[in-house]
Amino acid sequence: MEADRTGLQAPGFRLRGRCASYGLSLAFGLVLLLVTQAAQATDRCAGCHIRLPDDRLQKPAMLLRESPHRDDAIGCSACHGGDRNDPTIRAHSAAGFNRRPARADIPRLCGSCHADPRFIRRFNPALQVDQLVAYEASVHGERFRSGDTQAPVCTSCHGVHDIMGRADPRSRVHPSQVADTCKSCHADPKMMSVYKLPTHQHASWKDSVHGQGIARGNLGAATCVDCHTAHAATPPAVTSVARVCGRCHADQRERFRTSPHARAFERLGFPECEQCHGNHGVARTSPSMIGLGPDGVCGKCHEEGQKGTDGVKTLAAMIQDSHKKAAAARAAVQQAELAGLPLADARAGLEQVHTAELRLGNALHDFDPKKLKVATDEVASAAERVHASLAQANSGRRSYGRFVVVVAGLVLLHLAFLLLRIRRLGTSEAETST
């Protein structure tokens, strides 16, 4: 055969090319096999348990697949021991294997990782490592140490194989779920009767402004752990309730601390915020809360005719007046919407009214009519700006009238032109037929 200059078409080269391609394929397959084998090798327990027909043995492995604990460096053996590299049942015979860790060992077992900053920082440097210490200082921890079998341990709240990160909505300690987790014990009358604790807290919280906020998706609203802390669960003392509320409602707390009520509450031993707002069942505030009426909280301490009632009435009147102005602005915008007026400015104005109302609620905690007047003036001027925007929109609507007048002129001209043309044409081309 004539030699090909390039050599590519030569039979010898074709044979060598085929061998090379077969060899490459084989090598690739081997690499793939090794990689998959290596992947399987790091998850022997779950890899076997998932295939088991017994639901009791399969389910933990299925649940673990979604958990951060599925990480290769943790896996099943972190809690259950055994030989993680043995794919057979002999893994269970290895030293340290524990089919079901005892309840009493759970805190220490979880703490063996979660209280070790050097271990935790490999996975999540931002994760706290004081949970065990906090737990041991908590009421739950004290009960646990005293041998109370009902006292919760880590798995009571976080789950066992289905532990999820706190930010995962499926987690039992996600803000949207944590109240239900606490409820599982604290709303159980039989369980709580041992400790003589009430069981209405969850129901009260659920109807409260905080519970409704969580239900609406506002994850910033307070849940059980925000006031009672998570691991160091303890009811706040009477003197520290305000500090707990003040973590979020800082402005109200600061104003209250400098108001006349602060000294009086201290003298009488009243919890600051709780006295008027309650604790678990904190209701959404309304203007009717201020005053001596049936919904007024002031009547708990102030009686008609006593010192201070004039101040109550003054504050109540100011709040009611602001509320009316804000409501009138909202109603006007709603009417304008139905009438089809342009509303961009008015809606922006309503946002300002809302902000002013929030500031008014804060300013009320000064319990000083002079300071409150600044806030009520702000609401009034925001409401006035809404009305002004609507008036402008109405006048803008009147510009439609000017537009129509201009068009009318053009229409008349055009009609005049058409009528002239029609007259000029006449009916000269009319024909009569049967």
Comparison of 228 and 347: residue with beta carbon closer to another protein: 347
Which of 264, 339, 348, 374 binds another protein (CB under 8 A)? It is: 339
Question: Closest approach of Cβ 381 to another protein, in Å?
Answer: 23
Q: Which DSSP string do the residues of 38-63 spell out, in sequence order?
A: HHHHTTHHHHHHTT-S-HHHHHHHHH
Which of 19, 264, 358, 422 binds another protein (CB under 8 A)? It is: 422
Question: Closest approach of Cβ 378 to another protein, in Å?
Answer: 26
Residue 54 binding another protein, by CB under 8 A: no
Residue 340 binding another protein, by CB under 8 A: yes
Q: Are 231 and 135 in contact (CB under 8 A)?
A: yes
Q: Are 195 and 270 in contact (CB under 8 A)?
A: no
102-111 contacts: CB < 8 A, separation 24 or more? 103/149, 103/153, 106/153, 106/154, 106/155, 107/132, 107/135, 107/136, 107/141, 107/144, 107/153, 107/154, 108/132, 109/79, 110/154, 110/155
Comparison of 71 and 337: residue with beta carbon closer to another protein: 337
Which of 127, 342, 384, 392 binds another protein (CB under 8 A)? It is: 342
Alpha-carbon 237 to chain mean position: 27
Please, is 101 exposed, middle or buried when counting C-beta atoms within 10 Å of its C-beta (0-12, 13-18, 19+)?
middle
Comparison of 4 and 337: residue with beta carbon closer to another protein: 337
Give the three-class secondary structure for 120. Answer: helix
Question: Closest approach of Cβ 420 to another protein, in Å?
Answer: 10
Question: Closest approach of Cβ 341 to another protein, in Å?
Answer: 6
Comparison of 94 and 341: residue with beta carbon closer to another protein: 341
Residue 425 binding another protein, by CB under 8 A: yes
Comparison of 95 and 430: residue with beta carbon closer to another protein: 430
- The H-or-E segment that residue 228 falls in is helix 224-228
Q: Are 312 and 369 in contact (CB under 8 A)?
A: no
Residue 216 binding another protein, by CB under 8 A: no
Comparison of 381 and 394: residue with beta carbon closer to another protein: 394
Residue 2 binding another protein, by CB under 8 A: no
Q: Are 205 and 280 in contact (CB under 8 A)?
A: yes
Total residues at interface with another protein (CB under 8 A)? 32
Choose the binding region for another protein from 135-143, 165-173, 295-303, 420-428 (rule: CB under 8 A). Answer: 420-428
Question: Closest approach of Cβ 410 to another protein, in Å?
Answer: 9
Contacts of 225 (CB under 8 A, 6+ apart): 173, 178, 182, 233
Which of 4, 148, 337, 351 binds another protein (CB under 8 A)? It is: 337
Residue 304 binding another protein, by CB under 8 A: no
Residue 427 binding another protein, by CB under 8 A: yes
Q: What angle do CA 13, 16, 17 make, to 5 degrees?
A: 85
Taking the chain, what is the end-to-end CA distance rounded to the nearest angstrom? 99
Residue 343 binding another protein, by CB under 8 A: yes
Q: How many CB atoms lie within 10 A of CB 252?
A: 21
* Residue in 415, 336, 323, 402 with CA at minimum distance from that of residue 364: 323
Residue 50 binding another protein, by CB under 8 A: no
Which of 2, 54, 55, 429 binds another protein (CB under 8 A)? It is: 429
**Subset of residues 368 to 397 that bind another protein, contact rule: CB under 8 A:** 393, 397
Question: Closest approach of Cβ 346 to another protein, in Å?
Answer: 8
Radius of gyration of the chain (CA): 38
d(CA 47, CA 62): 10
Per-residue interface string for the shown chain with another protein, residues 163-202, x marking contact by CB under 8 A: ----------------------------------------
Question: Closest approach of Cβ 175 to another protein, in Å?
Answer: 25
Residue 434 binding another protein, by CB under 8 A: yes
* Site residues for another protein per CB under 8 A: 336-344, 393, 397, 400-401, 403-404, 407-408, 411, 414-415, 418-419, 421-422, 425, 427, 429-434
